[in-house]
Structure 1
Amino acid sequence: MIIVIDALNRHRFKGLLDEMHRLRARVFCDRLGWDVMVRNGREVDEFDALDPAHVVCLDADGDVVGCMRLLQTTGPHMLADVFHGLLDGEPPLRSSRIWEATRFCVDTKKLNGGKTRNSISYVTSEVMIAAFEYAREAGVLDAVAVIDPVMNRVMCRSANAPYDYLGTPKPMGKVTAMAALMDCSEERIQAIRDFADIRHDVFLTEDEAEALFRSNREAPAQRTAPPAPFPESKTEKADQMPKLPRAPHSNALQQYCYEQVLNAKSQSDVDAAQALIEALSDALGTTSAAELARLARVEAQATRKSVLVAAK
């Protein structure tokens, strides 16, 4: 599940961006041993100050498990200012319709193998799909990225092979680096979707992303304590409504969605809760999502009746 964070909405996602920079530090410094600047457990460089777009993947727990940075090539960018030696003396590409993709990484400790929803392959594909769809929507034709031979093989295996390369591969620190070109075409996006069997819209709305990330942080005890059942009668309103069945495996996300329905005070609140349940149905589980949706319908009817009574 993807949220794109840029200069227009980053004020809403300071905590999420902080988690993204922590993930980058764990991957690029701790695991890969790159010569990157890490301060207070976060990897941040000068290009993060240029208002890039960050493609961030959240899992069902609201944790950041993957990311990629997109930056225009009309100004400073890594291929022009850091990896220019790859270009064999040729000038860097500069165009408003070419973006640079950098700082791609996934959380290999939390994710597993295979092609399941919680796998490295799935999250990699989801981030790639989101990046290409977002860029394509912005009128971008191509993306350029500095990758190593391992990443090149991963991209080739996942129906995302570069269509061309700039300059020649060269040793860069502990790895060999190469500059690769990918078109932001519908054919490429569909090929990655087919490979990963991803048919749904990969993007979360800002409200959905904020709720998913916040739900995990507001109830940290639920991550370690035994799962609690849904509440039964905390308020008079809850007593008058159909009760959800006890859910011995309920989690913070289910609890949060339940509370959004229970606390809805207007039709717009109900609609927002229904949209959240629909967007997170895979993460909630079929049974829980269906029961939450049923409760939302009941609450919508109750809300409409109360509005009619108040209008008389």
Structure 2
Amino acid sequence: MILVIDALNKHRFGGILDEMYKLRARVFRDRMGWDVMVRNGREIDLFDQLDPAYIVALDGSYNVVGCNRMLQTTGPHMLSDVFQDILCGEPPLRSATVWENTRFCIDSERLKRPGADRTVSYAACELMAGIAEYAFNSGISDVISVVDPAMDRILKRCDNAPYGYIGKTVQMGKTKALAALSDITEERIARIRAFAGITGEIFLEDDVVADALAESTPVTMPVALRDYCDAQIAGACTDSEREAALALQRELAGMYRSQPSCDA
């Protein structure tokens, strides 16, 4: 199941964004050894402050099991501002219909636990399908993906092979990075779905997720307070702001947890 989080709804899903940042730290720093900035167990960079679109994969219990970040190429993005060496001196592609696709990762540890409701392979393909369908529905014609060689092989294995590459492969921490180009077409979406056996709607409605998260909380804060806390977490620009927002959320949750039930 895929939830799209962007500037319009991020105030509702601060908790999910926080789990996403933690997943990115575990995958990119701990597992892959990338040279990324991690603070307080969360991998967040300056591009997360530019209101990107996040394609987030959730399991049946609404836990984050995968994520991806999409940025317009008309402004700052990783290929133009971080991985210029890939371009070999050529100017970066800039177009309102060409977006950059980065930070693709899957929580393989959670998905390999007993009782997991999907496999790592299925979750990865569902996330790929979510990226392509979101892009197609948004009028995006092409996606540039900054990936490592292993991810490039996974794309090809899932019948989601790029149609071309930009520049050259460069060293990135303990691994390498390359820029792959994928056209966004109904044919690509159909191939990904057919490979994984994905049928039906994969996108979740905001209200469905928000209501499910509220119901799963042992003691639910009033909706206005819950939304306020999520908005503060999602809008935090610094580590201290984020920790303060999380502390406030914990404090308020504790206050309502300690209150006696109205039925007592």
Fold-level similarity (TM above 0.5)? yes
Mapped partners of 2:67, 2:215: distance in 1: 20
Amino acid across the alignment from 2:136: R
Q: Mark the CA change 1:105 to 1:167 in structure 2 (over 3 Å): closer, same or farther.
A: same
Deviation at 1:41, TM superposition (A): 1.2
Mapped partners of 1:158, 1:140: distance in 2: 21
Mapped partners of 1:138, 1:32: distance in 2: 31
Q: Look up the SS of the partner of 2:111 in the other structure.
A: coil
2:153 matches 1:146: no
Contact kept? 1:63, 1:213, Cα under 8 Å: no
Contact kept? 1:62, 1:214, Cα under 8 Å: no
Deviation at 1:118, TM superposition (A): 1.2
If asked which structure has higher relative contact order (CA below 8 Å, sep 6+), I would say 2
Partner of 1:78: 78
TM-superposition CA deviations, 1:181-219 (whole Å, max 9, x none): 011110000000000000111000001122333444437
Amino acid across the alignment from 1:162: P
2:66 matches 1:66: yes
Partner of 1:41: 41
Partner of 1:207: 207
Deviation at 1:117, TM superposition (A): 5.3
| Equivalent residues in 2 for 1:128-207, closer than 5 Å | 128-207=128-207
Q: Look up the SS of the partner of 1:20 in the other structure.
A: helix
Partner of 2:237: none
Give the percent of matched residue pairs that are identical in Structure 1 and Structure 2.
55
Q: Mark the CA change 1:19 to 1:199 in structure 2 (over 3 Å): closer, same or farther.
A: same
Alignment size in residue pairs? 217
Contact kept? 1:16, 1:213, Cα under 8 Å: no
2:72 matches 1:88: no
Where structure 2 has 5 or more consecutive residues not aligned to the other structure, the ranges are: 220-264
Give the structure with higher Rg (CA).
1
Mapped partners of 1:23, 1:153: distance in 2: 22
| Equivalent residues in 2 for 1:1-312, closer than 5 Å | 1-112=1-112, 118-218=118-218
Partner of 2:260: none
Contact kept? 2:34, 2:175, Cα under 8 Å: no
Mapped partners of 1:48, 1:184: distance in 2: 23
TM-score where L is the length of structure 2: 0.79
Q: Look up the SS of the partner of 1:3 in the other structure.
A: strand
Mapped partners of 1:78, 1:174: distance in 2: 18
TM-score where L is the length of structure 1: 0.67
Q: Mark the CA change 1:117 to 1:183 in structure 2 (over 3 Å): closer, same or farther.
A: farther
TM-superposition CA deviations, 1:48-107 (whole Å, max 9, x none): 000100011110122100000010000000000001100111100000000000111010
Where structure 1 has 5 or more consecutive residues not aligned to the other structure, the ranges are: 220-312
Amino acid across the alignment from 1:89: G
Q: Look up the SS of the partner of 2:74 in the other structure.
A: coil
Contact kept? 1:65, 1:107, Cα under 8 Å: yes
Contact kept? 2:34, 2:172, Cα under 8 Å: no
Mapped partners of 2:214, 2:166: distance in 1: 42
